[in-house]
């Protein structure tokens, strides 16, 4: 739980209300009696000070000094003095209650099943994040059954979402805007994973997933073009694996419908990686063996095929 440090400081503001209360107290002597300090109070409130009339330096008169003491307006008071133990407990308990209220988990009011595995989900999050489920959820009766079971949605299998573990990560991404499941040889993001995510995002109309995929493709390309001082053998091995992943990702995208944003990123990355791709055996083998490879190579500006 995050810690909240609170500094207690009491601030008093001198206002006409204070003057009214003082005058009322003084007026108890009689209806025509006026406080001997009235002129001083009026001068303090409205700025019309008369040093001689007030008997000395402005701001150092008996009444003002007395009020400073009573109202604890001494500027030398330590404003950051630690609170008492009781006050500290109150602050801590208030902090805990506020944090708990702000982090209440969304209510799970619907079950979503994929490939034989089901998860309780929040219908409001699904409606917001998943366009393909929005219409179905809006027309569903989300009340519990007589036996206390949640309503159920069963999704058909999509080829690029090839396991319940991957689908669970899709659900998690809708809740958090982050991708946590690695489907490929790497422990980090890969081009192939990113293209799969984009296609999954198109299939179920999940904007957040598509944006994660595009951001990952851009980040991977930027990383591959960075110069670093790593071990040359390790660096080349890592680069070759990423480039092979890139070739597989482009070939996978070609098997599906055309998606302009995805292809814009794949073409841009191809242009940025062109110098590395033309010396990569996997890429050149694809270019020489398939027309789709030749077309892609020409599109990113490879002249010698």
Query: pLDDT value at position 147?
Result: 80
If asked whether residues 161 and 257 sit together in one domain, one would say yes
Task: Average the pLDDT over 150-179 and give the result.
Answer: 89
Q: Confidence band (pLDDT; 50, 70, 90) for 10?
A: very low
Q: Of 193, 219, 192, 197, whose CA–CA distance to 209 is shortest?
A: 197
Yes or no: say if 225 and 272 are a contact pair by the CB < 8 Å rule.
yes
Distance in angstroms (rounded) separating the CA atoms of residues 170 and 179: 7
Assess whether pLDDT exceeds 60 at residue 13: no
Query: pLDDT value at position 108?
Result: 87
Give percent of the chain above pLDDT 90: 42
If asked whether residues 98 and 206 sit together in one domain, one would say no
Query: pLDDT value at position 202?
Result: 97
Assess whether pLDDT exceeds 70 at residue 181: no
Per residue, what are the HEC states of the chain? CCCCCCCCCCCCCCCHHHHHHHHHHHHHHCCCCCCCCHHHHHHHHHCCCCHHHHCCCCCCCHHHHHHHHHHCCCCCCCCCCCCCHHHHHHHHHHHHHHHHHHCCCCCCCEEEEECCEEEEECHHHHHHHEHHHHHHHHCCCCCCCCCCCCCEEEECCCCCCCCHHHHHHHHHHHHHCCCCCCCCCCCCCCHHHHHHHHHHHHHCCEHHHHHHHHHHHHHHHHHHCCCCCCCHHHHHHHHHHHHHHHHHHHHHHHCCCCCHHHHHHHHHHHHHCHHHHCCCHHHHHHHHHCHHHHHHHHHCCCCCC
List the single range of 8-17, 79-88, 100-109 with lowest mean pLDDT.
8-17
If asked whether residues 75 and 165 sit together in one domain, one would say no
CA distance to 101, 141, 150, 172, per residue, from 138 (Å): 27, 8, 15, 21
Q: Does the CA dihedral 120-97-173-207 come out positive or negative?
A: positive
Question: How do residues 39-91 score in pLDDT, each as one tens digit?
Answer: 554 454 445 444 444 444 444 444 444 444 444 444 444 444 455 666 566 66
In a domain, residue 259? The reply is yes
Distance in angstroms (rounded) separating the CA atoms of residues 74 and 302: 78
In a domain, residue 9? The reply is no
Q: What is the mean pLDDT of the chain?
A: 74
In a domain, residue 235? The reply is yes
Across 71-75, 102-106, 216-220, which has the greatest mean pLDDT?
216-220
If asked whether residues 199 and 87 sit together in one domain, one would say no
Distance in angstroms (rounded) separating the CA atoms of residues 290 and 136: 42
- CA atoms in the 13 A half-sphere facing the CB of 30: 3
For 287, the domain range is 157-299
In a domain, residue 218? The reply is yes
Question: How do residues 245-294 score in pLDDT, each as one tens digit?
Answer: 999 999 999 999 999 999 999 999 999 999 999 999 999 999 999 999 99
**Total number of domains in the chain:** 2
For the entire predicted model, the pTM comes to: 0.62
Query: pLDDT value at position 105?
Result: 52
The residue out of 59, 74, 102 marking a domain boundary is: 102
Place of tokens 């917001």: 128
In a domain, residue 237? The reply is yes
If asked whether residues 78 and 186 sit together in one domain, one would say no
Assess whether pLDDT exceeds 80 at residue 229: no
Beta bridge partners of 154: 113
If asked whether residues 50 and 169 sit together in one domain, one would say no
Question: How do residues 105-147 score in pLDDT, each as one tens digit?
Answer: 568 889 999 999 999 999 999 999 999 888 888 888 878 777 8
Across 6-20, 40-54, 208-222, 228-242, which has the greatest mean pLDDT?
208-222
Place of tokens 């009339």: 53
């Amino acid at each position: 739980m995050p810690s909240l440090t609170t500094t207690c400081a009491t601030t008093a503001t001198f206002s006409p209300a204070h003057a009214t209360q003082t005058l009322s107290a003084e007026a108890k002597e009689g209806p025509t009696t006026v406080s001997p300090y009235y002129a001083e109070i009026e001068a303090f409130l409205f700025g019309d000070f008369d040093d001689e009339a007030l008997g000395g330096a402005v701001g150092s008169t008996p009444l003002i000094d007395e009020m400073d003491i009573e109202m604890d307006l001494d500027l030398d008071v330590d404003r950051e003095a630690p609170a008492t133990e009781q006050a500290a407990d109150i602050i801590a308990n208030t902090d805990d209650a506020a944090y708990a209220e702000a982090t209440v988990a969304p209510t799970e009011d619907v079950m979503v099943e994929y490939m034989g595995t089901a998860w309780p989900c929040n219908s409001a999050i699904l409606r917001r994040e998943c366009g393909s489920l929005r219409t179905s959820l809006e027309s569903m009766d989300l009340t519990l059954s007589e036996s206390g079971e949640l309503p159920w949605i069963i999704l058909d299998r999509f080829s690029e979402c090839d396991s319940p573990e991957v689908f669970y990560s899709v659900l998690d991404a809708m809740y958090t805007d982050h991708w946590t499941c690695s489907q490929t040889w790497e422990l980090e993001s890969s081009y192939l994973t990113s293209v799969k995510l984009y296609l999954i995002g198109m299939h179920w109309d999940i904007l957040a997933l598509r944006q994660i995929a595009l951001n990952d493709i851009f980040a991977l390309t930027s990383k591959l073009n960075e110069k670093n001082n790593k071990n040359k053998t390790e660096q080349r091995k890592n680069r070759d694996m990423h480039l092979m992943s890139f070739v597989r990702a482009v070939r996978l995208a070609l098997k599906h419908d055309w998606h302009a944003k995805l292809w814009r990123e794949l073409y841009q990355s191809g242009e940025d990686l062109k110098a590395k791709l033309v010396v990569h055996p996997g890429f050149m083998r694809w270019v020489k063996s398939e027309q789709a490879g030749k077309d892609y190579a020409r599109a990113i500006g490879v002249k010698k095929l």
